[in-house]
Chains A and B, each alone.
Chain A
Amino acid sequence: MSKPADLDREPARASYLTDGTTVRSWLDTRDHKRVGLMFLVAVLGALFLGGMFAMVLRLSLLTPEGSFVGPTAYNRLFTLHGIVMIFLFLVPAIPSAFGNFMVPLMIGARDVAFPRLNLLGLYLYLIGAVLVLGAMIEGGTDTGWTFYAPYSTSTPSAVVPVLLGIFVVGCSSIVSGINFIVTIHTMRAPGLTWMRLPLFVWSIYGASIIQVIATPVLGLTVLLVAVDHAFHVGLFDPAVGGDPLLMQHLFWFYSHPAVYITILPAMGVVSEVVSGLSRKNSFGYKPIVYSTLGIAFVGFFTWGHHLFVSGQSTFDAGFFGVASMLVGVFTAIKVFTWIGTMYRGAIAFTTPYAYVCGFIFFLVFGGMTGIALATVSLDAHWHDTYFIVAHFHFVMVGAALMAFLAALHYWFPKMFGRAYPEGWGLVSTVLIILGFNATFIPQFLLGNAGMPRRYYSYPAELQALNVASTAGATLLGIGFLIIFVYLVVSLRHGERVPQNPWESRGFEWYTASPPLKENFEHLPTFSHAPHDYQEGHPHGR
């Protein structure tokens, strides 16, 4: 990117953080960076809450007959844990926090296409969160985050406010998706062709397409369940001729692509960090772009693998099994590309890089267990056991959450103009990776041994593995606590950094750190691809 000379020096004008300091200037902002920052705070709050629920669950599982909380509370807690973690953290986190902040910077735009809609998306998220969490006052619901009918339509627990909250958060997700798609289509600066887009932007684009297509079906599903719960019209009730499987088909049509909404931006972050901190051109820019679109598309054809043992036909099961394996091919292409990029790079092994290494490791193993689960005959044994729990935590926590942490550290200097303490960063990364392994590897073994998920109690001989898992969770929690402390401290006392402390050639690093309110003094033009470190590289232009 050709940069006007004045972008190199310290901005004489106030940054986005200091330009307007009243509460009103934040709550009524049109600035995508402020919206992104507020989202970041919100999703971190959700992560904390979801983590607290998880801790209580793990403590309860220390003894075979359950402890700490009673069985009903246990059911309500795992339901809330799932809802908070998935809808309030995993789905929105990277797009709404980092996507909002970085995408306009990366494409040379002053803001997203619809800034007021962006702010509305934030408020919709908050309202939805309040509805979901507010239902806790009535005890919440005990259906599991998947609220399958007919239990969800007949449970006396407070399922309707929770469903309503999910509906509203879904609207926030759709708004975000629409905004990004339009922004990327219409607001790229001169010279920024599609094949020069940063890979993070491509990943947000792919995730946004999924958000727009899949989320409305979830919206309809929660509406149907809520109406059925209220009026008992029996669309999913066998006693009236309904089919519970219809609800599952509709639910998973969203909820499987939802994991790709989560993982695609995570993969985008990894692409940025790998190129930026290996200081190498991407080993395969186009393969990653096409794999991103491939995952987004093929991911829509795989939902039935959640219905393998529900009574779905074997014909459909076969189709979904094959499609589920196919989707893994694209992920594999990406993994090889990242490793190819790292090979012989000038690697700066810092905290973001460590998280990326963790990401790749956990994505590969979590993903491979996914391929194993796509085999119907194996899933028949593992379904609804801790094997499934371990699988999705590997990819959602081990991979997606690691990428979130990588983003948080890689872009911390960009967002705040300060450095976090690298030593503490690496310490907590090690704790998190070790803690994660200690938590979830035992769960694979537990699941394979037959321990069902969502059960309050379990056979006594499985206690040792459960205790190990809880110990790991504690270590994980300590790691997060350390991160929280040093990041908050660094906000005020972190060493001030120059504009581009990583010396990355990602486009966002050509703006000030922290950026100006209007992003650029002069709108940029682009003359080559991002992360162009090698003279004459075929994908430099």
Chain B
Amino acid sequence: MKTVFVRPERCIGCRHCEVACAIEHAENKNLFDAISEDPVSKPRIHVEVGIHYLTFPNRCRHCDPAPCMQVCPTEALYRDTETGSVAVDYAKCIGCAVCAMACPFGIIQFDKVFQLDTSREVNAKCDNCIERQKEGLIPACVEACKTGALEFGDANELIRVSRKDFTMRMIKSEGTDVEVPKIPANIQAYRTIMKEIAKTCE
């Protein structure tokens, strides 16, 4: 099973993933044309602040079975068998938002899409960049992520890396070589400062 694995501790809130996603889902897949399209393409990944200025890039997990698919009354949501992604047939979507009620991650958004001539807003969630994947490319958000907060690959392999790191920390002292890089001291210091700043407004 391939997935986009999120390492939230490495997200610095730059929103490169959001921009890359919006471009990828625009009619003209380049920045300068995409910003003047009507309807304008919106990101399907959402980098939001939790507390203390710490961020998490939230996107569709492409569940299987997918609660959104199970409740969709018009079968607008379907599975792309080749990539295992949950995709939307925009023409079939009636905008009832039942899928959003069923989604455990709150990542479904309703927007106008260039594929439809009407002004209806439809489920315009992450499609896992099916077209890119079929061309052998990784999802646009992962490609845009420069900090390794988003990784694309075999889920078990990505989990194995985290598991092995934990094992290494258990049997050796902290600071040993690990595959998931440790957070550098300067970034730790910065985050501590931002946490203190956030606390003045609590």
A and B assemble together:
no
Interface set of B (CB-CB < 8 Å, partner A)? none
